[in-house]
Amino acid sequence: MRLSRMFSLLGPGIVWAATSIGVSHIVQATRAGADFGFALLGFIILAHVIKYPFFLFGPKYAGLTGKSLLDGYKSVGNWAFYLFLILTFITMFFIQSGVTIVTSALAMNLFGDFLSLSQWAALILIVVGAVLLIGHYKTLNVLLKWMMLVLAVCSLIAWFAAIGRLGFMPTAQGPSIVLTSAASIAFIVALIGWMPTAIEVSVWHSLWVLSKKQQAGALHAKRAVADFNIGYGTSFILAMVFLWLGALLMFGQGQGFADSAAAFAGQLVGIYSAALGEWSWVLMALVTFVALFSTTFAVADGFPQVWKRALSLVLGEAHPQVETRANWAYLITLVLLSLGSWWIIEFFTADIKGLLDFVTTVSFVSAPLYAWLNYRVMMGADIDDEHKPQGVFKVYTLTCLSLLTVFSVFYLWWTFLA
């Protein structure tokens, strides 16, 4: 099959993968390998397993009904619809700033420090905003397909090179690891929070599926699910790759990641060239930058898409100016999101790990709510019984929901009461 033909079959699932393969993989998975070796491998696998059904419901619901999960939340009740919007408003500036600050640091590392970190952030946000306003989803889709291809190929090259030079397991003896310590629990929570990404991104995914403007039905849902599974599988494989690289190249070396964004980016790329040779510096600088730049693109489109659809639902499809006002909502959200996230970057430049751990922990705690809402939507009256979760898959879904709830409650108890 020609590459162009294969690319034409892919779409929202790759955009979803671009959202995922960024901070959670490049930063958190690499940190997990560097600090814990392979001790947290099971948690990365667990995160992918227990979140899978709730991510799956996004493309499946959109494909079957021609509606987004946000529409589904409104059908559950106005309380669910507005609660989602409130949580989105609270977190969106921190999430956008979290991915943008890492992207900016990697850009500075790759292209030079002739601009400050905040200036790089401003430039990246302007470029991203301009591309989204000019091309919208179609341009985003094409760009991210190529970015994901470059990322996957370069990551696998680096992985094979690391194994060929260093072997399958770290040769250095790392520090003794206590997973029940406060620092370990806090990092595990942050790791799972965005591994592979936050569950609320399933709402964005459903909106991206609708952007393809295909006729709703079982066939569209089947294609959307297949596309998603390719993106999900890619996310899982690359999470393993980056944890493996962190373990091989940094575990037991007696160094940790810096708090400042600029130093963090330099370390992230530097560990590869130090272990693999100077030839790998450009390769890994490119890999990490492409991963985070694609994530910045996807996140910058996801939040405005939510507010665009939300306004349409509030006004009603019959409103004479619904399309015009919805487009304005997209534009205004994109501008405010860019300005707000840039302002946050000004204050968190010195502690990038603190910012990332905060936003990922919020996603960890709120995950059961989004998971339950997605399940309620898929069990709603607008889904035929044959397409609802049933049998073994229903048991699996409810088990995953229970585990997410137990993890969240345990963390809240451990933080505030233990």
261-276 vs 78-111: helix crossing angle, rounded to 10: 60
The DSSP H or E segment spanning 31 is: helix 30-36
Give the chain's domains with CATH numbers: 3-416 (1.20.1740.10)
Cα gap 156→245, rounded to integer Å: 10
Check residue 191 and give its pLDDT.
87
Nearest to 339 by CA among 116, 140, 92, 131: 92
CB contact burial 241-257 (16+ within 10 A = b; e otherwise):
bbbbbbbbbbbeeeeeb
Query: pTM of the full predicted structure?
Result: 0.89
The DSSP H or E segment spanning 157 is: helix 117-166
Cα gap 117→94, rounded to integer Å: 17
Check residue 394 and give its pLDDT.
96
Local structure of 248: helix, strand or coil: helix
Specify whether the CB–CB gap between 230 and 12 falls below 8 A: no
Check residue 5 and give its pLDDT.
54
Neighbour count for residue 195 (Cβ, 10 Å): 31
Cα gap 91→95, rounded to integer Å: 6
How distant, in Å, are the alpha carbons of 44, 177, 355, 364 from that of 411?
Answer: 17, 20, 19, 9
Query: Is the alpha carbon torsion for 150, 151, 152, 156 positive or negative?
Result: positive
Q: Give the model confidence (pLDDT) of 246-268 as tens digits.
A: 888 878 766 666 766 667 777 77
First to last CA, the chain: 57
Cα gap 132→335, rounded to integer Å: 11
Please list the ranges in the chain whose pLDDT falls under 50.
Answer: 1
Specify whether the CB–CB gap between 44 and 194 falls below 8 A: no
Nearest to 362 by CA among 88, 73, 15: 88
